[in-house]
Chain A
C-alpha cells in the first residue's frame, strides 16, 4: 500500500514542479504573502508548490521569522550594546544644545 501512496505523492510533486511556476517565481509570491493578501490564483499556486517543495517551505518560514525579528527588534534595544551608543562628542553637543534651548523656552 505504501508504494501507492509514495508514487501518487511523487507524481503530484513532479506535476507541480513541471506544470506550475518554478521556485524562482514562487519565492516572489511567498514574499508578497507576508505583505499583502494574495490573489486566489497566487494562493492556489503557492499552496500546491509548498506541498511539493521543502526549500520553499523553509524560505517561507525564514521570511516570517525575519519579519517577526524586525517587528520586535526594539524590545531588545535597551540592553543591546552591539547596536552602539552615542559618541562622546554627540553627547556633549546635544547636552550643550539642550542647555542653550532650555534658556529660550
Chain B
C-alpha cells in the first residue's frame, strides 16, 4: 500500500509543480501591480486588476502551456484586464468636448505679430542631449516620467498608455476608447506636448 500512495503523490506534484499559485503574490504581485499602475495611474484600480488577473489565472491554470514564463503568462492576462478597464471607463464617461484652446496649447505659441504661431521664446523645447537608452537608465528620469504621466488628463493618458505602452494599433485604441481617428491624433499630440513640458521642467532643468 505504502509505495503506491507515494507514487500517486509524486505524479500529482510533478503535474502541478511548474505553477504555484500560493507564491504568485510574493513573486509577481509587485511587478504586476507596477505594470498596471504605470498604465492606469490609480493604485486601487491597479490592485483590482492584479486581483482579477490572478483569479482568472487560477481558473484557467490548465491553459498555461509552460512555453512562456509564469510572469509572461500572468502579464498577458493582466493586459486584457487593463484594456477591459479602459473600455469600461470609456463607456461610463463618454468623451467630453474639447476645452477651449487646450488642444492647441495656445500659450506655448506667440499670439500675434511677425512670429505669430511660432514658439514663445521662454517656452521653446531645448536640447536634452541624451539618448533614450541613457535617459531610461536614470532613476530620476523614470520616476519623473511616471509622475508626468500622472498629471495628464485621464483620456489623454489612456490613449498614450494603450498606444505606446501596450502597443495597440490605432484602430484598436479607437475602438477601446470610442474615439474617432481625429480624436486619437489630437490626444496623442496633447500627451506629447504635456509630457515633454513636464519633463523639461521637472527632470531636465533640475539635472
Contacts and interface: CB of A to CB of B under 8 A. Distances in A.
B185 interface: yes
Contacts, number: 167
Contact of B43 (A17, A84, A102): A84
B125 A59 contact: yes
B199 A97 contact: no
B51 A94 contact: yes
A86 B33 contact: yes
Contacts of A93: 51
B54 interface: yes
Interface in A65-102: 65-78, 80, 82-87, 90-91, 93-95, 97-99, 101-102
Interface residues of A, number: 54
Contacts of A34: 188, 192
Given A66-B196, A84-B43, A86-B29, A35 B188 contact: yes
Nearest to B173: A35
B69 interface: no
B82 interface: no
Interface in A6-49: 17, 21-25, 27-28, 31-32, 34-36
A29 B43 CA distance: 35
B128 A97 contact: no
B184 to A, nearest CB: 8
B116 A22 contact: yes
A99 B22 CA distance: 7
A18 B188 CA distance: 27
A105 B37 contact: no
B119 interface: yes
A89 to B, nearest CB: 9
B60 to A, nearest CB: 9
Contact of A22 (B30, B109, B143): B109
Which 5 pairs, one residue from A and one from B, show the smallest C-beta to C-beta distance? A22-B117, A68-B132, A70-B164, A55-B124, A58-B125
11 contacts: A17-B115, A24-B108, A55-B126, A63-B196, A65-B130, A69-B135, A71-B167, A83-B34, A83-B146, A101-B58, A105-B58
